[in-house]
Amino acid sequence: LMDAHTSRERIIKNCIAQTSSVVKALREEREKAQDDLALLKQLRKEQTKLKLMQSELNVEEVVNDRSWKVLTHLNNDDVLCPQAV
């Protein structure tokens, strides 16, 4: 479970880094060509994608925390009340 969460978090962070660099490049281009509507549309699209990825990272943190709480709770219950075989 820990490996899956770590792997997913690493992948999401990698996507965030890549999209951030795209957004940065588009912003620089936008400063040079402020009248380019297609460029503005692309910038907004990439910014939206970046926000969604950042939200996904936050969701992943919540899922990770809750998973560990449930797992800890289940393990504590097994210690206190082991199932009869």
Q: Report the number of distinct structural domains present in the chain.
A: 1
Q: Is the CA virtual torsion 20, 21, 22, 27 positive or negative?
A: positive
Whether 80 is in a domain gets the answer no
Q: Is the CA virtual torsion 45, 51, 53, 56 positive or negative?
A: negative
| Model pLDDT for residues 46-62, shown as the tens digit of each residue | 999 999 999 999 999 99
Distance CA 68, CA 75 (A): 10
Range of the domain at 17: 1-75
Whether 81 is in a domain gets the answer no
| Model pLDDT for residues 31-48, shown as the tens digit of each residue | 999 899 999 999 999 999
Q: Helix, strand, coil proportions of the chain in percent (round to 5)?
A: 90, 0, 10
pLDDT surpasses 80 at 80: no
Whole-prediction pTM: 0.76
pLDDT of residue 69: 86
Whether 62 is in a domain gets the answer yes
Q: Is the CA virtual torsion 77, 80, 82, 84 positive or negative?
A: negative
Whether 85 is in a domain gets the answer no
Residue 85 DSSP SS3: coil
CB of 69 closer than 8 Å to CB of 79: no
